[in-house]
Chains A and B, each alone.
Chain A
């Protein structure tokens, strides 16, 4: 009896998820990560219930948006790509002229009701734009399509880097280039471009990067050179992670975190708190959870029925990986400090909403396959 009931329950749940066009595997993984995230955030915020509730509310909102996006048919998503992209560019220009300054950077746009960062839109709009453009071209990508795609990517990247928001620029740029990579840009071209880029690096260093961005990179090389200044973040973060040891100091017991030694501990540096309290085992678990989500995204990409979905799902999953790698690399002292949050765990609404909408896109792509095939 019980077994029958259980079976009926499962099938019922499955049917609901199918109707909602939700991928149960991805949803489960995202749910697990979110629970993890809320727990860590509670500790990182110094047991701030209010802050935790705000994050949960945002999470709920983001899930709602995920479902909404998942229910937009893929062909419509493909059609609106170009308009979303153009709107994003216009908003970026608006920010340049009318934006609000927060923490020394001009990123925010106040629309009266909501304040948001237009650069977040581009995180989705750029891969959508490039994917929809390349989906109609013959693959592997030819020179002309490549050049057009590069221009499409570089315009918003340049605008965002000017704000200055290096972290988002990297994410937007990599999202765009991942589409190109998946679209089969020849290895020869990739090598040539990498070579050209490394030649240009000194010029970028000199003319594009701002003083503080250069300082962060220099600090990474030798954080002890300025222990009270820009090296402080990295040193304290490394101490936190390292002192977590194999098993961690326990939830709410991280001295580095609880005693305020870690700067930005509920946002960009939240992994330091996690590493300190949950140790190496916890870190492995968390990273594997992320890996599972990424691989699920890649799996869906591989099984999508047409190129737009394949390229977009693949690029979004890879971008998700960039988030993870840049953030943990940064707090572990491997990469310079750029403003990239730990996806779905760091406190803050905008990035979470964008990420969840991205997964909404991926789910829509999965469903498209189902309906078509």
Chain B
């Protein structure tokens, strides 16, 4: 300092520094004001905007899926319930590298390409911070293995969710249906908000038809989350309303008996309460395990179900269409009497075939040597084809179809289940409309023995039989009896008023047919005589055999040489007790050859179980 002191003017320098300090203070003031203006804009001017952003930041809406309604049989036995099942779920927002996570996860838990594809699909249309399942139904081993390694996987969770469970497996699966993951198409058909938390939807049977009842109403939870999406506390909650429970008309025990009675055969049984149309059992064989579908069926399992020649996925009871064969004869008989085409005493000689006037062609009776001289009752009891060729010919197709429609042939029954087929009862108009061809008399004859273009579903046949048991009063067959809220406080009965009330011209006509059908079972010459042995109640029934393929004029059908697939279908319709019917049963056994030997015993087991309590 000392050597420069003569150049320094301390007072001048002091003034300079002070001046600069004042300038600095002024600049600082200006900048502070800038800062305050900025804060004023943020906190006062734009307050609303940021307050909204802040709220939406921390509050997240979570959908709470409702518990699906339970399904009970008519005696209160649970047929479909919900069990907790562990799922592997991923929250995409919390995963840094999804591909890496997926690869590493594979070490601990296996998932198929199909599951991965599903995950990616659902991942695309997810909401923010929604967890998307990768694997459903983890077993205990997988849960344990994952749980200890979960810390290595950010955004991966194991969650317990309720999953559908069918405690009886395949029992009544075609009636019950099952649930499966919702696909995009289904999602577009439902209320997306109500299905916000739902992963499964009914795919078949009751589960599908009553989807709206079973699903329930989604709940909403307003939760406060942190920046990582973790729920910190629940601000507001509207709990979900569980779906309604369904009480079926089905009797699970009866269903079990019917399925067991079928053995390895393919076919269908439908048992109806003729008093009200309640379906007591509805069997389509073979069955399959619906639980497989709940957790995402594997491609392999699905392919084996889909490609099986026995077509287990096909609901034969509603969608299977078969020629009814001789099972329609009692209806024709009643038609003949009611229209006075035939009378009770009139006899006809059956020589084993029938020839139309002016034609050469022979229409064969199933019994080559013929039934001899028969009246209507004999013809039903012994199932004489020739008599019915004649009856049909004389009555004409127009009258026949007009009569049969009243018993529900050729139209859907309106059952509360999806996928029902209408069958076909041919008529002149139908043929002109579909084939542009006139009706030929020969077709009337084929129709007269339940063959030709005539097709019925097992359900239709059972319902017609029930209507016959009720002298023509027909109900809409149905599977659900009562719909009940989850807390059982509200109940709705599914009433079923008659859809058709055929007025008998003469009660004795019906009595006559009833006797014929009783004779077919109990009479020594009855086609179903064998099943009557040891019966503790009376049964009215009729066997049937339906040709799967036509045989040429002079050929003979030889059961032994025909491949199983081409063998005739065996049918049987019946109701019991004959004088106070409580159950009507229709049985169709595909390729069962004879109604009397294969189909009738199944019907008997069902009726025994229902009427006597045990088979």
Q: Of A182, A279, A287, A291, which is within 8 A of B21 by CB?
A: A182
Closest CB in chain B relative to A314 CB, distance in Å = 5
User: Is B148 on the interface with A (CB-CB < 8 A)?
Assistant: no
- Which of B12, B20, B49 is in CB contact (< 8 Å) with A242? B49
Contact A259 B58 (CB under 8 A): yes
Q: Are A255 and B13 in contact (CB under 8 A)?
A: no
A137 touches B227 (CB 8 A): no
Residue of B nearest to A301 (CB): B21
CB-based contact A261/B25 at 8 Å: no
B564 within 8 A of A: no
* B4 / chain A contacts, CB cutoff of 8 Å: 136-138
Closest residue on chain A to residue B230 by CB atoms: A260
Residues of B contacting A182 with CB < 8 Å?
Answer: 17, 20-21, 24
Contact A283 B39 (CB under 8 A): yes
Is the CB–CB distance between B43 and A283 below 8 Å?
yes
Interface set, chain B 18-52, CB cutoff 8 A to A = 18, 20-21, 24-25, 28-29, 31-32, 35-36, 38-40, 42-44, 46-47, 49-51
Residues A239 and B43 in contact, CB atoms below 8 Å apart: no
Q: Is A244 a contact partner of B25 (Cβ separation < 8 A)?
A: no
User: Contact between B25 and A298 (Cβ–Cβ < 8 Å)?
Assistant: yes
Whether a CB of chain B sits under 8 angstroms from the CB of A302 is yes
Chain B residue at minimal CB-CB distance from A308: B1
**Contact yes or no, B35 A328, CB < 8 A:** yes
Across-interface contacts of A244 in B (CB, < 8 A):
43
B226: chain A residues at CB < 8 Å are 259-261
Cβ of A155 to closest chain B Cβ, rounded Å: 24
- B43, A139: Cβ atoms closer than 8 Å: no
Q: Shortest Cβ distance from B100 into chain A, in angstroms?
A: 18
- Closest residue of chain B to A279 (Cβ to Cβ) is B43
Q: Is the CB of A238 within 8 A of B18?
A: no
For residue B43, which residues in chain A have a CB less than 8 angstroms away from its CB?
241-242, 244-246, 275, 279-280, 283
Known: A255-B54, A275-B43. A139 touches B16 (CB 8 A): yes
- Closest chain-B Cβ to A329's Cβ sits at a distance in Å of 7
Type the 1/0 row for A230-270, where 1 means its CB is closer than 8 Å to any CB of B.
Answer: 00000010111111111000000001100111000000000
A238 touches B42 (CB 8 A): yes
The A315-373 residues at the B interface (CB cut-off 8 A) are 318, 321, 325, 328-329, 332, 334
How far is the CB of A29 from the nearest CB of chain B, in Å? Answer: 16
| Closest Cβ–Cβ distance, residue A251 to chain B (whole Å) | 16
Decide if the interface of chain B is mainly helix, strand, loop or mixed: helix
Known: A241-B42, A280-B40. A291 touches B28 (CB 8 A): yes
Asked whether, in the complex, the Cβ of B20 is within 8 Å of the Cβ of A184, the reply is yes
Inside 8 A of B224's CB, which chain A residues have their CB? 255, 259
Interchain nearest-CB distance for B180 vs A (Å): 35
Q: Does B341 contact A (CB under 8 A)?
A: no
Q: Is B552 an interface residue (CB 8 A)?
A: no
Centre residue among A240, A244, A291 by max chain B CB count within 10 A: A244
> A48 to chain B: closest CB distance in Å?
16
B14 beta carbon closer than 8 Å to chain A: yes
- The docked-state distance in angstroms from the alpha carbon of A236 to that of B12 is 51
Q: Are B38 and A332 in contact (CB under 8 A)?
A: yes
Query: B24–A298 contact, CB under 8 A?
Result: yes
Q: Which of A140, A241, A295 meets B39, CB within 8 Å?
A: A241
| Residue B7 is within 8 A (CB to CB) of chain A in the complex | yes
Q: Is A59 an interface residue (CB 8 A)?
A: no
Partner of B35, one of A135, A139, A260, A325: A325
Say yes or no: A332 contacts B28, CB within 8 Å.
Answer: no
Q: Assess A311 versus B17: contact at CB under 8 Å? Given A291-B32, A298-B24, A325-B35.
A: yes
How distant is B136 from chain A, measured CB to nearest CB, in Å? 30
Cα distance, A239 to B12, chains bound together (Å): 51
- Chain B's nearest CB lies how many Å from the CB of A28? 20
Contacts of B506 in A (CB 8 A): none
Q: Are B28 and A261 in contact (CB under 8 A)?
A: no
A240 touches B54 (CB 8 A): yes
**Which residues of chain A are near B14, meaning CB under 8 Å?**
307, 310
Q: Is A183 an interface residue (CB 8 A)?
A: yes
Q: In this assembly, does A284 line the interface, its C-beta being within 8 Å of a C-beta of chain B?
A: yes
Q: Which of A214-243 contact B (CB under 8 A)?
A: 236, 238-243
Pick from B28, B46, B55: contact of A294, CB below 8 A: B28
B228 and A184 contact, CB distance less than 8 A: no
A158: Cβ under 8 A from any B Cβ: no
Q: How far is the CB of B148 from chain A (nearest CB, A)?
A: 27
Q: Does B53 sit within 8 A of A, measured CB to CB?
A: yes
Q: How far is the CB of A328 from chain B (nearest CB, A)?
A: 6
A245 contact from B12, B38, B44, Cβ within 8 A: B44
Residue A133 is within 8 A (CB to CB) of chain B in the complex:
no
CB pair A243 B50 closer than 8 Å: yes
B39 touches A332 (CB 8 A): yes
Complex Cα distance A332/B20, Å?
29
In angstroms, Cα B462 to Cα A94, docked, is: 97
The proximity string for B residues 196-240 relative to A, scoring 1 for CB distances below 8 Å and 0 otherwise, is: 000000000000000000000000000011111000100000000
Residue in B10, B29, B49, B53 with the greatest tally of chain A CB atoms within 10 Å: B53
Asked if A287 and B36 make an inter-chain contact with CB atoms under 8 angstroms apart, the answer reads yes
Evaluate contact between B24 and A138: CB separation under 8 angstroms.
Answer: no
- Residues facing A in B272-328 (CB within 8 A) are none
Give 27 pairs: A residue, B residue, CB < 8 Å, sorted on A.
A140-B16, A182-B17, A182-B21, A184-B20, A236-B57, A238-B50, A239-B57, A241-B42, A241-B43, A242-B46, A242-B47, A242-B51, A242-B53, A243-B54, A245-B47, A255-B57, A259-B57, A259-B225, A261-B226, A280-B39, A283-B36, A287-B32, A298-B25, A302-B17, A302-B18, A307-B14, A325-B35
Instruction: Knowing that A184-B16, A332-B42, A334-B38 touch, tell me 6 more A-B residue pairs with CB under 8 angstroms.
Output: A137-B4, A243-B54, A283-B36, A283-B43, A325-B35, A332-B39
Interface residues of chain B, those whose CB is within 8 Å of chain A, are 1, 4, 7-8, 10, 12-14, 16-18, 20-21, 24-25, 28-29, 31-32, 35-36, 38-40, 42-44, 46-47, 49-51, 53-55, 57-58, 224-228, 232
